[in-house]
């Protein structure tokens, strides 16, 4: 099995157990770098696939919560290299497939070939790059493909149908369906026509579809779960970490 196929397998296993897949997002090294592995293990036990946010100085698609966590992690010295070193140190101890969410520049600075090599060794299965549209992605995709790693495409309610088809075909691991037209952690509730949109994306995709943005409570996870294979929980979980509450209990509460 290639690394990116582990993601789909984990989501399918959750669906087979009669529930939506749960994809917790944490900013790596937040709130304390020394607690990174403990936090990661806790969310990996409660979630099916874990999204690791790589801190960046200019998180232009993120709202205040994730911006704050990103700046704080950077201030405390978290870097991509540090994250890989940490992951190497717990090799084989985390079952859930890991996906890295990073803006492009830290990946570019790291170098794509070395990135793919270290990611594969560290148990990372795929990448989400919010500022890398399909048109600019050939070089990174090639480096990841060569090692069986997935480049996960985002689609949004504003994506025209033809483009939606292209993105669904290009995506590896899962298709990230952004639920709202906005940034992460916005106050808006899930849109009324969410079901139609998710059904449309699912109809075009041969791999699992996971919904993210604006998912904060058990009812959101349930609503999304009827029309997608998984739910991504980011800002709401980072807020829990910010308040030093138990991330695992919070994630378990989301599955009702």
Partner 1 sequence: MSTMFAADEAKRLLDAAIRGEMPDERGRFGPFGGRYVPETLMPAFERLEAGVKEHLHEAGFQAEYRRELREWVGRPTALTYAPRLSENWGAEVWLKREDLAHTGAHKINNAIGQALLAKRLGAKRVIAETGAGQHGVASAAACARVGLPCTVYMGAVDMERQSPNVDRMHRLGAECVAVESGDKTLRAAIDEALRNWVTDPHGTYYLIGSVVGPHPYPYLVRELQAVIGEEARQQMLDQAGALPDAAFACVGGGSNAIGLFYPLLGDDVELIGVEAGGTGTGLGQNAATLATGTPGVLQGAYTIILQDDDGQVQETHSISAGLDYSGVGPEHALLQATGRVKYMSAEDDAALEALEELCAAEGILTALETSHAFAAAKEYAKENPGKKILIGNSGRGDKDMPTLTKYPARIRSHAGA
Dist. CA 180–CA 171, nearest whole Å? 20
**Shortest Cβ distance from residue 157 to partner 1 (Å)?**
8
Q: Which of 109, 121, 146, 218 binds partner 1 (CB under 8 A)?
A: 109
Measured from the CB atom, is 68 or 248 closer to partner 1? 68
Indicate whether 112 belongs to the interface with partner 1 (CB under 8 A): no
One-letter-per-residue 3-state SS of 89-103: HCCCCCCCCEEEECC
Q: Whole-number minimum distance, CB 42 to partner 1, in Å?
A: 26
- The DSSP letter of residue 213 is S
Does 195 contact partner 1 by CB under 8 A? no
Q: Is 131 a catalytic residue?
A: no
Q: How far apart are CA 42 and CA 34, in angstroms?
A: 14
Candidates 16, 32, 45, 62; catalytic one: 62
Decide if residue 99 touches partner 1 (CB under 8 A).
no
Q: Is 130 in the site for partner 1 (CB under 8 A)?
A: yes
Q: How far is the CB of 19 from partner 1 (least distance, A)?
A: 28
Separation of alpha carbons 91 and 80, rounded Å? 17
Q: Which of 51, 58, 142, 162 is catalytic?
A: 51
Provide the pairing of β-strand 175-178 with 50-53: unpaired
60 binds partner 1 (CB under 8 A): yes
Report phi then psi at 100, rounded to 5: -95, 135
Active site residue 62: yes
> Using the 8-state DSSP alphabet, how is residue 76 labeled?
T
Instruction: Pick the closer one to partner 1 by CB: 63 or 148.
Output: 63
Q: Counting contacts by CB under 8 A, is residue 163 touching partner 1? A: yes
How many Å apart are CA 234 and CA 128, to the nearest integer? 13
Site for partner 1 in 164-193 (CB under 8 A): 167, 178, 181-183, 186
Query: Please, are residues 26 and 43 in contact by the beta-carbon 8 Å criterion?
Result: yes
Give the SS3 label for residue 63: coil
C-alpha distance from residue 254 to each of 52, 54, 174, 219 (Å): 19, 24, 21, 8
Give the chain's count of helices (H) and strands (E). 12, 9
* Shortest distance in whole angstroms from residue 112 CB to partner 1: 12
Q: Which stretch binds partner 1 (CB under 8 A): 85-93, 108-116, 119-127, 241-249?
A: 108-116
204 near partner 1, judged by CB under 8 A? no
Q: Active-site residue numbers? A: 51, 62
Q: Which residues bind partner 1 (CB under 8 A)?
A: 56-64, 67, 71, 74, 79-81, 103-110, 130-133, 135-136, 153-156, 158-160, 163, 167, 178, 181-183, 186
């Amino acid at each position: 099995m290639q690394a990116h196929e582990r993601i789909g397998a984990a989501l399918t296993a959750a669906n087979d157990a009669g529930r939506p897949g749960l994809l917790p997002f944490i900013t790596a090294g937040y709130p304390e770098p020394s607690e990174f592995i403990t936090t990661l293990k806790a969310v990996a036990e409660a979630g099916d696939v874990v999204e690791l946010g790589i801190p960046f100085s200019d998180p232009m698609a993120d709202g205040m919560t994730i911006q704050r966590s990103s700046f704080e992690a950077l201030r405390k010295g978290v870097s991509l290299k540090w994250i890989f070193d940490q992951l190497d140190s717990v090799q084989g101890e985390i079952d859930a497939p890991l996906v890295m969410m990073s803006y492009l520049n830290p990946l570019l600075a790291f170098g794509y070939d070395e990135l793919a090599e270290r990611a594969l060794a560290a148990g990372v299965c795929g990448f989400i790059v919010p500022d890398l549209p399909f048109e600019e992605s050939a070089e990174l995709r090639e480096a990841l493909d060569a090692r069986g790693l997935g480049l996960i495409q985002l689609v949004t309610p504003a994506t025209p149908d033809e483009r939606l088809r292209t993105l669904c075909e290009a995506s590896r691991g899962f298709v990230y369906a952004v639920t709202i037209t906005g940034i992460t952690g916005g106050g808006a509730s899930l849109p009324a026509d969410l079901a139609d949109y998710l059904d449309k994306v699912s109809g075009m995709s041969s791999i699992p579809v996971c919904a993210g943005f604006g998912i904060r409570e058990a009812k959101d996870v349930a609503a999304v779960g009827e029309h997608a294979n998984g739910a991504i929980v980011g800002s709401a979980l980072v807020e829990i970490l910010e308040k030093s509450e138990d991330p695992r209990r919070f994630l378990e509460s989301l599955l009702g």
